A and B are shown apart, each in its own frame.
Chain A
């Protein structure tokens, strides 16, 4: 028997949720909604006595502000009622908590078929049509992919029966294992791949067919009672293991590269020859790399007590379909990477970064795409909830905006972990598994969530992209699992662990079983959220909050007992073996057998053509000489520059109480810091510095320059706060449009050449700077073909940096500190306005937004290194009162932000700044040349500072003033004269409240 409980706020209590809906309906949808009241609906599908039911109702209802009824709760007058609820099988976190409250209240665990399901009522007032209300339901209140939306007029509601029916599938499908016939034509094979969302190429399908035709394979399969043709379990397992998402086939491919002069080059794997090669070369010069590219996250030495791990992921495709669910899964998912690294790291902090279309986009949207404002709101809320509820502080965050992210947003989520260097007297990064160890899955249960996530993210977004590919993370279940795993780790109760992410068990066990040499699992032993999952679905499900472990046989009982005490699901589902095969059973029946060597090494290598031809991008017409007040205010308010504080304040950045240089600094705590600094524990003044570089706009001119610039940005941000050369590690996250030539992608060879050039730059700059890449990820199919329009992202690389800081108390911040301090510009300003924020602003002003060409910033690594070494020494000596590195908007924006940070003015003589050649004013003000800093020091330290920088580009350009005005002039003219309030308003108003 199911019961319905409706809960509303008492009269006189502000309904913030309803008020927010009404405001958004009016402001964003321009609908005459005059009021909105909300209420929560619980469907309690639990056998209860009348007394228990009243008790449950009482506990669900806050006595101070809420009232409730069993069945219908009398409603105030309304015109329309919208009821939203989750579709069957979708994660309902509120429902799960309600279930636990019921359990505690009635004092018994719920039966498997019992549950609590939730929904929300929106009672709307206003003269609205049914279509308008339906649109609000679809585009504001719920996502039809995962939620049901029902609309009632007041009369219809009055006449409707009370609905207590829980959203569950009562009639599960029978267990069925299908086989695939691979003996057909190429067209037949490709149809199998397409219809199954397997994303297998014809070459891969041939390799699979050949494997199953091997006599030894056939004999082994016959012996186990398996058919000659592959089962769905086997084909799905191969498809996901070989997916671009998991196998990184493009980065592993043989590339034939032809440059603009016709010179040819064959590259055997960009990953091996550029990224890993860089790290291997640098490894000879540093001694703090512990584990790179082998585990879920890279590990570096922190001090004699701890190692640090760092991983950053993207979660783009799921976030396009369900921004909230995709993003929350992104952040709690990447948390499991450090958690599953080595013997399991404690989680220290999170990073995030997003690339979106403009939230103010007013053009046509291809059918099936969400408005970028809605995507942005959902993504932020997902990562806010995921991070905050997990108790992990955020440290870095950024947003970039460009129309080409309309088709697929980029959602970067990163996590830093720490782990004692030794655990049970063994190096904590060491993982080993012995044959006979139990395979244990722990955390959440398995549902259809996220099935085909790995293969699906290896395709472009289509209208029929599967709803199942969306998961919704559950931070609390994961938090419970995390605490349990740390406890079990310290007790030495397991031998190895890894997370279940893309590809689910198939992926985690595939990885782990190569450590022992095989595995045998019984899918019938895996705990399910509901009945009716097919064996292949259990194997591939990307249901969240799960880790796979290898537990020594003698520890199994203790491990499971501790899990029970901590209210964490844990089940033995198989045994690691050394048979060389991955054997999958369902009960007594063998449903799959794959040889490890074929599964991991059998995927044929791709061959990709790459042809570089420098693009022709027109530059905007030069602006007539004169005041640049308007340009500076325009740049400060531009989406890519302006303050992101409104959303950022909704993320918890201070849990654990370890922050030192926060994401926002300055006297009003409202200016973005160059890099953040935090301690990693309470016993030491040592800490870590985190920063990043990202600039998709430079990619439009040259991805080599783009990559060089983003690495330089990520490094000089670290240097700016006090980080030292030789202690900085990097992480690369490549997001690319599909670079493989095909009918859909005629410009594949150009996009592949862009990828080659970016990787060449990565090798060159990382090795020069001694910044080893320690981990990374690529996402290579960021295209959308919805509504008949192809939208591809610009090649985008996020380069994140992490550095140890020996004494965080020496950190320097970007804000001017005191009137009278001397202002210096360090580093050369050059005629480099190509793809700059200024050129993009100017091109827009001139009505030709694509014409933002020009010379893209170059990088002189030797000069940069010399500069950074001196920066290290002047910060160590305590000479600097502030340090800020210019990025978007160049020196002009940098002066403005540093002045705003201190709430102090500045008097700048710009032609004193070091520069090459005879520069126009606009290049002096706005060029985004690399490797520069704006620093201040006490006037009495000026001579010492100049002495340190002797022989390098360094010049005093002015003085910090008490007058709250920024003045920038040259000998010829006054370029900028603006009071701080005007500047601050320009910087903050664009996204305030949005």
Chain B
């Protein structure tokens, strides 16, 4: 049976259509549920094997991206979310969803503490929202189940607040030691992490593009894998077609396929 994935909608989140399509293509059974319908009966969360916080502009990013949505989720669903994680299920957050997860404290989720904010995704160093494609480098030392067996991947970024930041250096070191950095912004020429704009679009510490918890089942990232499902999404698909290197499907799908493979095997 295809694993059921809950996609929360409402309040300015807006990537529901492509996220739904991504999970469907990957062999899951996604459902869109408005946040208000969910908090009316938070226990329905447990009907699902995975949960996705999608991208968008919840509450317009006013007061800091993810803050207001995170506060509403925490207020109504904290204990159900804790149980959901303890049950070994998956949570994915993309862009605004990642921001919501860091505001909630779901990431980095060290020491089993999933509800204290430790990290912030702050304004890009360049000072503005940016939309262009970057290259992600996936780290082999990460327990992240979404990023298994991946190396480099082009994906679009579309955010104004994507800089992973903390003043707590030991915390950052601990996150690195635990392999909680599954992906970084990289220079496609070398495959190495970079702090150079625009290869690193926001000035993120250690070029961090995404974080997972120590179990690897809770994962968030700023770039949008759900926006690279068609091969023609790639900005140079015209050249790839000419050179015979156009893939059959957009590379972003692989993260969703990894998640579904994990769910089907567990």
Give residues in A with beta carbon < 8 Å to B. Answer: 10, 12-14, 16-17, 19-20, 59-60, 62-65, 93-94, 96-98, 100-101, 104-105, 107, 384-385, 388-391, 474-476, 479-480, 483, 565-567, 649-662, 664-665, 667, 669, 679, 682, 808-809, 811-813, 815, 817-818, 881
Given contacts A652-B158, A682-B21, contact A60 B63 (CB under 8 A): yes
Interface string of B45-66 (1 = CB under 8 A from A): 0000000000111011111100
Interface residues of B in 100-148 (CB under 8 A from A): 117-120, 122-125, 127-133
Q: List 15 A-B contacts (CB under 8 A).
A: A13-B167, A64-B165, A100-B59, A107-B75, A476-B11, A476-B57, A480-B12, A651-B129, A651-B131, A652-B131, A656-B17, A657-B228, A660-B232, A662-B235, A817-B242
Besides A483-B9, A566-B10, A682-B17, 8 new A-B residue pairs in contact (Cβ under 8 A), listed by A number: A13-B122, A60-B63, A65-B122, A105-B75, A650-B128, A658-B18, A667-B239, A812-B238
Chain A nearest Cβ from B130, distance in angstroms:
6
Task: Determine the residue in chain B with the shortest Cβ distance to A813.
Answer: B238
Question: How far is A806 from B224 in the complex, measured between Cα atoms in Å?
Answer: 27
Question: How far is A13 from B229 in the complex, measured between Cα atoms in Å?
Answer: 37
Task: Determine the residue in chain A with the shortest Cβ distance to B55.
Answer: A655
Question: How far is A662 from B131 in the complex, measured between Cα atoms in Å?
Answer: 12
- State whether A64 touches B166 (Cβ < 8 A): yes
Selected contact of B132 from candidates A391, A474, A669, CB within 8 Å:
A669
**Residues of chain B with a CB closer than 8 A to A650's CB:** 128-131
- State whether B158 touches A667 (Cβ < 8 A): no
The answer, yes or no, to whether B227 is at the interface (CB within 8 Å) is yes
- State whether B15 touches A101 (Cβ < 8 A): no
Selected contact of B60 from candidates A10, A65, A389, A655, CB within 8 Å:
A389
Question: How far is A98 from B63 in the complex, measured between Cα atoms in Å?
Answer: 7
Question: How far is A94 from B56 in the complex, measured between Cα atoms in Å?
Answer: 17
**Residues of chain A with a CB closer than 8 A to B72's CB:** 104
- State whether A679 touches B55 (Cβ < 8 A): no
Question: How far is A480 from B34 in the complex, measured between Cα atoms in Å?
Answer: 11
Question: How far is A64 from B122 in the complex, measured between Cα atoms in Å?
Answer: 10
Given contacts A808-B232, A809-B232, contact A565 B36 (CB under 8 A): yes
Selected contact of A62 from candidates B64, B133, B227, CB within 8 Å:
B64
**Residues of chain A with a CB closer than 8 A to B14's CB:** 390-391, 479, 655
- State whether A14 touches B125 (Cβ < 8 A): yes
Chain B nearest Cβ from A472, distance in angstroms:
12
Question: How far is A390 from B60 in the complex, measured between Cα atoms in Å?
Answer: 9
Question: How far is A565 from B11 in the complex, measured between Cα atoms in Å?
Answer: 12
- State whether B228 touches A669 (Cβ < 8 A): no
**Residues of chain A with a CB closer than 8 A to B59's CB:** 97, 100, 476
**Residues of chain A with a CB closer than 8 A to B156's CB:** 654
Question: How far is A475 from B34 in the complex, measured between Cα atoms in Å?
Answer: 18
Question: How far is A101 from B67 in the complex, measured between Cα atoms in Å?
Answer: 9
Residue of A101, A390, A679 ringed by the most chain B CB atoms within 10 A? A101
**Residues of chain A with a CB closer than 8 A to B57's CB:** 388-391, 475-476, 479
Interface string of B236-266 (1 = CB under 8 A from A): 1111011000000010000000000000000
Chain B nearest Cβ from A683, distance in angstroms:
9
- State whether B228 touches A101 (Cβ < 8 A): no
- State whether A659 touches B63 (Cβ < 8 A): no
- State whether A64 touches B120 (Cβ < 8 A): yes
Chain B nearest Cβ from A363, distance in angstroms:
29
Question: How far is A789 from B236 in the complex, measured between Cα atoms in Å?
Answer: 50
- State whether B61 touches A389 (Cβ < 8 A): yes
**Residues of chain A with a CB closer than 8 A to B167's CB:** 10, 12-13, 64-65
The answer, yes or no, to whether B71 is at the interface (CB within 8 Å) is yes
Interface string of B164-206 (1 = CB under 8 A from A): 0111000000000000000000000000000000000000000
**Residues of chain A with a CB closer than 8 A to B125's CB:** 14, 16
- State whether B62 touches A97 (Cβ < 8 A): yes
- State whether B63 touches A101 (Cβ < 8 A): yes
Question: How far is A729 from B41 in the complex, measured between Cα atoms in Å?
Answer: 48
Question: How far is A98 from B59 in the complex, measured between Cα atoms in Å?
Answer: 9
**Residues of chain A with a CB closer than 8 A to B239's CB:** 667, 817
Interface residues of B in 1-41 (CB under 8 A from A): 9-15, 17-18, 21, 34, 36-37
Given contacts A12-B167, A64-B166, contact A475 B71 (CB under 8 A): no
**Residues of chain A with a CB closer than 8 A to B37's CB:** 565
Question: How far is A385 from B131 in the complex, measured between Cα atoms in Å?
Answer: 13
Given contacts A566-B10, A566-B34, A667-B236, contact A475 B60 (CB under 8 A): yes
Chain B nearest Cβ from A133, distance in angstroms:
23
Chain A nearest Cβ from B66, distance in angstroms:
10
**Residues of chain A with a CB closer than 8 A to B67's CB:** 59, 62, 101
Question: How far is A669 from B130 in the complex, measured between Cα atoms in Å?
Answer: 14
**Residues of chain A with a CB closer than 8 A to B166's CB:** 64
Question: How far is A667 from B242 in the complex, measured between Cα atoms in Å?
Answer: 13
The answer, yes or no, to whether B226 is at the interface (CB within 8 Å) is yes
Given contacts A64-B118, A657-B229, A659-B233, contact A97 B17 (CB under 8 A): no
**Residues of chain A with a CB closer than 8 A to B237's CB:** 660
- State whether A818 touches B62 (Cβ < 8 A): no
Question: How far is A325 from B13 in the complex, measured between Cα atoms in Å?
Answer: 22
- State whether A97 touches B68 (Cβ < 8 A): yes
Task: Determine the residue in chain A with the shortest Cβ distance to B226.
Answer: A657
Task: Determine the residue in chain B with the shortest Cβ distance to A681.
Answer: B17
What 4 A-B pairs have minimum CB-CB distances, sorted nearest first?
A391-B14, A97-B62, A657-B227, A64-B120
Selected contact of B129 from candidates A14, A98, A652, CB within 8 Å:
A652
Given contacts A62-B67, A64-B166, contact A656 B18 (CB under 8 A): yes
Chain A nearest Cβ from B41, distance in angstroms:
13
- State whether B127 touches A65 (Cβ < 8 A): no
Selected contact of A64 from candidates B12, B117, B132, CB within 8 Å:
B117
Question: How far is A818 from B57 in the complex, measured between Cα atoms in Å?
Answer: 41
Given contacts A13-B122, A14-B125, contact A654 B60 (CB under 8 A): no
Residue of B59, B63, B124 ringed by the most chain A CB atoms within 10 A? B63
Interface residues of B in 58-96 (CB under 8 A from A): 59-64, 67-68, 71-72, 75
- State whether A93 touches B68 (Cβ < 8 A): no
Question: How far is A107 from B39 in the complex, measured between Cα atoms in Å?
Answer: 13
Given contacts A64-B120, A657-B230, contact A100 B36 (CB under 8 A): no
Chain B nearest Cβ from A476, distance in angstroms:
4
- State whether A101 touches B131 (Cβ < 8 A): no
- State whether A98 touches B62 (Cβ < 8 A): yes
Question: How far is A19 from B118 in the complex, measured between Cα atoms in Å?
Answer: 25
- State whether B129 touches A566 (Cβ < 8 A): no
- State whether B130 touches A13 (Cβ < 8 A): no
Question: How far is A101 from B75 in the complex, measured between Cα atoms in Å?
Answer: 10
- State whether A657 touches B233 (Cβ < 8 A): yes
Question: How far is A818 from B244 in the complex, measured between Cα atoms in Å?
Answer: 14
Question: How far is A669 from B234 in the complex, measured between Cα atoms in Å?
Answer: 10
- State whether B233 touches A101 (Cβ < 8 A): no
Given contacts A650-B128, A650-B130, A657-B18, contact A104 B75 (CB under 8 A): yes
- State whether B15 touches A391 (Cβ < 8 A): yes
Chain B nearest Cβ from A345, distance in angstroms:
15
